[in-house]
Structure 1
Amino acid sequence: MITGLNRLVDLVEQHLGEELDVAAFARSLGTTEYHLRRMFSSLAGMPLSEYLRRRRMTMAAADVVRGHPDLLGIAVRYGYGSSEAFGRAFRAVHGAAPGDVRRDGGPLRTQPQLRFRLTVEGSNPMDTRIAERPAFRLAGHAVRVPLIHRGVNPHIQQHVASLPPAEHDRLKALSDTDPAGLLAVTDDAAPDAAEGTELTYLHGVAVTADTSVAEDLDTIEVPAGQWAVFRSSGAYPQTLQDTWAATASEWFPSNPWRLRPGPSIVAIIDRAADFTTATSDLWLPVEPA
């Protein structure tokens, strides 16, 4: 996967002014676009689309500063159909219009070319199992929230806190299949969603496909398939988030599995009364690579 990601970076450089056929490239690596984008985003810290935009604007800025006389020509070279669209993208990256940068020489926010390298990790074994699950349903209370990679998500906290205690008990009583108990579910996120992008968060439980669910509950239908289940224990949510990151940097590159579309599920196995520490299972939908 590391070699494939570096080949993808090279492909970006070769086609800065063109649309990338990421799906075809993923197939050439023997993987899927979904998995490739998820791995790139997790390891690079930004979506592939954002990296491409930053590299385009880095190279375009060099043309602007060098005094290329035709801003429209620069815009077209980097895949923009008009000077206006190019100017908006340029300002979004550099914080200044092309004309201002040409006059003043800056400010410029340069995106260096990425290079992925294999480092020696894995001194701490990851507690993982593969679970085969029939189709099931997730039922509970859903809300749209912004994606936050690190720390507690206050929007999720607010959503869960707004539910009365009796509702938590009602959901627990409804749970009748694995993953057991109250669950934190994220769904509808693009494979390389940037931080701040909205996704669906569901506070709920898993039930069998034929379990009757009340109409006032939101549901997510989950098809049959395999899941990688990662257990972690420690400070919450930091340890869980570290485990999530390690799936991309350590587990997937060294195991014959890849991500497939579907919700990500967190089940709390045990926790401190103040929730500062917890043992949790992270369920990620996977398929053989």
Structure 2
Amino acid sequence: MSFGKSLQSAIDYMESHLLEKINYENVAKEVHMSCYNFHRIFSLMAGITANEYIRNRKLSLAGQELQLTDSKIIDVAFKYGYETPESFAKAFSRFHGVSPKLAKRKGTQLCLFNPLAIKIILEGVTLRIIELKKQANKDLLQRCEHLIMKLFLKFLIILSLNLEILVCIEMG
């Protein structure tokens, strides 16, 4: 499975399990990645952690449900995994800027956090190694450069190898 497909699969898994107790470790296992790598890569690509993504999606859906249905606040809190109405109200207020009670009023504006979609477009990218911090022989340097180029083009990420290579990306 390609890297883009793995991340989209992770997002799809999170979306389909939002009403369950879920965290990034569950998602990492689902997409067969180590927790460490999944956490780093998801954070790099999405700009937020997977746990923040899950929390934001739950709070966004909870806000929509409070506005569009006659559901009670306590029921919505439990539905989206909060153990107490107070903890839900605190998280809800931080995310939306209004209390759940105010959110039920018509005309109240809430924050909307839509599902992410991974789309990778690669145009005219040149990758080159500009500095090697640790000493390495010429053959090792060439293999590292080839490996980094291959990984970048395939996965669209920059890996920090144990050789501490500083990578420069030039967009053409």
Bucket of the pairwise TM-score, normalised by the shorter protein:
0.7 to 0.9
| Residue type of the alignment partner of 1:253 | F
Q: Which runs of 5+ in 1 are unaligned?
A: 132-177, 181-227, 231-246, 266-280, 284-289
Structure 2 residue 11 is the aligned partner of structure 1 residue 9: yes
| 1:20 counterpart (3, 22, 30) | 22
- Asked if the contact 1:122/1:250 (under 8 Å) is kept, the reply is no
Decide which structure has the larger Cα Rg and report it.
1
Structure showing the higher strand proportion among its residues: 1
- Mapped to 1, the partners of 2:159 and 2:35 lie a distance apart of 11
| Moved beyond 4 Å, runs of 4+ | 257-260
How big is the shift at 1:251? 5.5
- Mapped to 1, the partners of 2:122 and 2:129 lie a distance apart of 18
SS at match of 1:51: helix
Q: Which runs of 5+ in 2 are unaligned?
A: 136-142, 168-172
- Mapped to 1, the partners of 2:30 and 2:160 lie a distance apart of 17
Superposed, which structure 2 residues align to 1:99-138 within 5 Å? 99-121=101-123, 123-127=125-129
What is the root-mean-square deviation in Å for CA atoms of aligned residues?
A: 3.6
How big is the shift at 1:17? 2.5
Structure 2 residue 137 is the aligned partner of structure 1 residue 253: no
TM-score by length of 1: 0.45
How many residues were matched structurally?
Answer: 155
Q: Deviations over 1:113-150 (max 9, x none)?
A: 10001212452123289x9xxxxxxxxxxxxxxxxxxx
- Asked if the contact 2:19/2:81 (under 8 Å) is kept, the reply is yes
TM-score by length of 2: 0.73
- Mapped to 1, the partners of 2:126 and 2:107 lie a distance apart of 48
Q: Does the C-alpha gap of structure 1 residues 282 and 32 become closer, same or farther in structure 2, counting only changes over 3 Å?
A: same
Q: Does the C-alpha gap of structure 1 residues 10 and 87 become closer, same or farther in structure 2, counting only changes over 3 Å?
A: same
Identical columns (%) = 23
- Asked if the contact 1:61/1:98 (under 8 Å) is kept, the reply is yes
Structure showing the higher helix proportion among its residues: 2
How big is the shift at 1:73? 0.8
